[in-house]
Amino acid sequence: GDSVTQMEGPVTLSEEACLTINCTYTATGYPSLFWYVQYPGEGLQLLLKATKADDKGSNKGFEATYRKETTSFHLEKGSVQVSDSAVYFCALRENSGGYQKVTFGIGTKLQVIP
Amino acid sequence: GAGVSQSPSNKVTEKGKDVELRCDPISGHTALYWYRQSLGQGLEFLIYFQGNSAPDKSGLPSDRFSAERTGGSVSTLTIQRTQQEDSAVYLCASSPQFGAPQETQYFGPGTRLLVL
């Protein structure tokens, strides 16, 4: 079945440091890939997405590139801010028997310290 | 417009009691999902609705869990004879279109359930 593997946190970085959160997946078809973010005390919200190989999703300074050859969708940001502290979830969505099945990773907690 | 809403926001119940959790999706969204987020764990898929039907119930952890959706809109998740391990945040999400892999899910704020 489908699965998403992401690095376990927490990840602690100083402000302006470079961030990479790894995400790899297994899927039988051609999934769409997503990063969701959950800020403290808030609900999950979409951060970025990519729907086909080599697509790059970007938002709020975050980027992730859909790499089919390595089945990866790593989240990157060049300079993190304290306000980026949150839990980040990698997810895939695949057409399975005629409907869209979504599989989430376990989430990676990011703490950015001033 | 309004987002996905869930009620109650918090629920404390005693072991063995039944609870009902409600989800109001964004108007017009045909797909609705329930997830469970337990402490220290990721999102666990429970059930998916397309309109009023549930093609995939594979994520429901036991027969104490059931869900329904009426009128293609509101959904209720019912947990019978609650156990302490049912304590978690229950999240609902909806998306606008069936058959579109790129469609975004919009999440509600969740219901935090505590079973004493």
Q: How far is B97 from chain A (nearest CA, A)?
A: 10
Mean pLDDT, rounded, of chain B: 88
**Nearest C-alpha neighbor of B20 from the set B85, B70, B90:** B90
Find the mean pLDDT for residues B25-47: 86
Cα–Cα distance, B93 to B34 (Å, whole number): 7
Confidence of residue B42 (pLDDT cuts 50, 70, 90): confident
Q: What are φ and ψ of residue A112, in 5° steps?
A: -110, 125
A90 and chain B in contact, CB less than 8 A: no
pLDDT tens digits, one per residue of A70-103: 999 999 999 999 999 999 999 988 766 556 677 8
pLDDT the model gives residue B1: 53
- The length of chain B is 116
Find the mean pLDDT for residues B20-24: 97
Query: Hey, is A82 helix, strand or coil?
Result: helix
Mutate to test the interface with B, among A6, A44, A52, A66 (most CBs of B within 10 A): A44
B41 and chain A in contact, CB less than 8 A: yes
Residue B90: CA count within 13 A, CB half-sphere: 31
Give residue A107's region: left, alpha or beta (phi > 0; psi -120 to 50): left
Find the mean pLDDT for residues B60-86: 93
Nearest to A46 among B45, B100, B104 (CB): B104
Asked if B110 lies within 8 A of A43 by C-beta distance, the reply is: yes
Residues of chain A with pLDDT under 50: none
